[in-house]
C-alpha cells in the first residue's frame, strides 16, 4: 500500500475544520511545550486513554495545517482565513485564490506526513 501524494477534497475539508477549531480555541500554543507533570520514576509505566491519544493527534495535525497555511502565498493565506475564520479581507478574485490554496495544501500536507 502506498501513501497518497495528494489529499482528496473530503480529507482536506476535515483537516481545515480541525484547524478552525484549533484556531478558535483559547488553549495556549501547546503550553510552550512544557509537560503537564514532572517525569520521574513511575512504577507501572505511563498509559494514555484512547481519547487522549486522539486529542494529541488532532492537535499535531492542526499545528501542521497551520504551518502549511502560513507557508502559502499571501493572497492564498488570506483567502483561507477569509473563508474559514471569517476574517475580512477585500481583494479581487477571492475564490480563485482559495482554490489555489486548497490545491497547494492538498500537495504540501502529505509531504509533511499529514494524510
- Write down the pLDDT at residue 39: 54
Contact 3, 114 (CB under 8 A): no
The whole-angstrom separation of Cα 56 and Cα 78 is: 27
C-alpha cell at 55: 486529542
pLDDT tens digits for range 12-60:
999 999 999 999 887 655 554 455 555 555 555 566 788 888 888 888 9
CA R_g for the chain: 17
Contacts of 83 (CB under 8 A, 6+ apart): 98
Encode pLDDT of 58-81 as tens digits: 889 999 999 999 999 999 999 999
In a domain, 92, yes or no: yes
Look at residue 101 in the predicted model and tell me its pLDDT: 98
10 occurs within a structural domain: yes
Buried-state track 48-72, b at ≥16 Cβ within 10 A, e below 16: eeeeeeeeeeeeebbebbeebbeeb
> In this predicted structure, what is the pLDDT of residue 43?
52
Q: Is residue 99 part of a domain?
A: yes
Number of compact structural domains in the chain: 1
Q: Looking at the domain assignment, is residue 40 inside a domain?
A: no
Amino acid at each position: 500500500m502506498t501513501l497518497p501524494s495528494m489529499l482528496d477534497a473530503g480529507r482536506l475539508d476535515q483537516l481545515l475544520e480541525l484547524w478552525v477549531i484549533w484556531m478558535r480555541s483559547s488553549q495556549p500554543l501547546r503550553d510552550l511545550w512544557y509537560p503537564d507533570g514532572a517525569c520521574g520514576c513511575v512504577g507501572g509505566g505511563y498509559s494514555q486513554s484512547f481519547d487522549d491519544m486522539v486529542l494529541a493527534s488532532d492537535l499535531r495535525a492542526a499545528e501542521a495545517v497551520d504551518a502549511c497555511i502560513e507557508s502559502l502565498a499571501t493572497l492564498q493565506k488570506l483567502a483561507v482565513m477569509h473563508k474559514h475564520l471569517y476574517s475580512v479581507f477585500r481583494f479581487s478574485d477571492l475564490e480563485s485564490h482559495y482554490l489555489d490554496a486548497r490545491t497547494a495544501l492538498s500537495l504540501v500536507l502529505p509531504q509533511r506526513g499529514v494524510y
